Structure 1
Amino acid sequence: MKFQPDQPLGGNMISKHDLHHVWVNGVEQAHSVLVPWQGQPEDWDVTRFEDLTEAHFERILKRKPELVIFGSGSKIRFARPALYRGLIDARIGMETMDIGAACRTYNVLASEGRAVLAALLIEP
């Protein structure tokens, strides 16, 4: 039996979440946020699912992840593929989940050292 904690290979971990907040590395985020496997999390300037645009997904593309976990809020809502066409063309996978599943999945992939990015939509 192993008694030491696992150390994530990625740089960021989501330690807690609810419908209106996530805690990245112990720091509360009360707004939509992009959480890369390494580097600083950054505000994602979208507050409603209906307001998503191509520009929101272009910001993700600049980080060059191998996989995007899109947390679409309290329920699963799929963005139109035209909005994330740049990710498709760059052969970057995107999975859509509710916020809880997205946080858990991100942590597993980041702990494996995968180049994953969580795009978490936090609605007021």
Structure 2
Amino acid sequence: MSGGIEMREAHFPGKAPIEAYGNGGFRFADMSHRGSLLCLPSGIHGWKATDARSLDLGDFQSVLAEAEEIDILLVGTGRDLLHLPQGLRDALREKGIAVETMATGAAVRTYNVLLAEERAVAAALIAVD
């Protein structure tokens, strides 16, 4: 038996609406997470992204791995709407994923609606304070 605490990557193995956001994190499924999130068909995962201006294709590898199960990806870019680089949008579109960027609050609300409609939706949500 080791004496340390084992830290694991944040992961909730299911789909759940986002109950709240702000203060640098999110609440969902009666849990809270500090930092950004990827909401994918495989579940809700912690995401290292902190600034939409620095996003690149590497930040979306988990999304691409589940592309066959995703029709639309909502990207919450923080407090303000920022557009993703065209090359990144094109790479996601080549995998059959439509991309919509919006401020994180709008992305959370839209994600919840599409999830309730049982649409093939995913979300990449940058945390806001």
TM-score, normalization: structure 2?
0.79
Structure 2 gap ranges (5+): 1-13
Structure 1 gap ranges (5+): 1-9
State yes or no: 1:86 paired with 2:85. no
TM-score, normalization: structure 1?
0.82
Please say if residues 70 and 119 of structure 1, whose CA atoms lie closer than 8 Å, have aligned partners that are also in contact: yes
Q: Distance in 2 between matches of 1:91 and 1:40?
A: 20
Q: Distance in 1 between matches of 2:95 and 2:37?
A: 22
Q: Which residue pairs with 1:33 in the alignment?
A: 37
Deviations 1:27-73 (A, max 9, x none): 2121111012x432112121222321111123212122111010000
Q: Which residue pairs with 1:24 in the alignment?
A: 28
Q: Which residue pairs with 2:11 in the alignment?
A: none
**Superposition CA RMSD, Å:** 1.8
Deviations 1:75-121 (A, max 9, x none): 10011021233211122111111111100000000011111011001
Tell me how far 1:18 sits from its aligned partner. 1.9
Determine what percentage of the aligned residue pairs are the same residue. 29
Q: Distance in 2 between matches of 1:42 and 1:123?
A: 17
Q: Distance in 2 between matches of 1:62 and 1:81?
A: 20
Q: Which residue pairs with 1:54 in the alignment?
A: 57
Aligned residues: 114
Higher relative contact order, structure no. (Cα contacts within 8 Å, ≥ 6 residues apart): 1
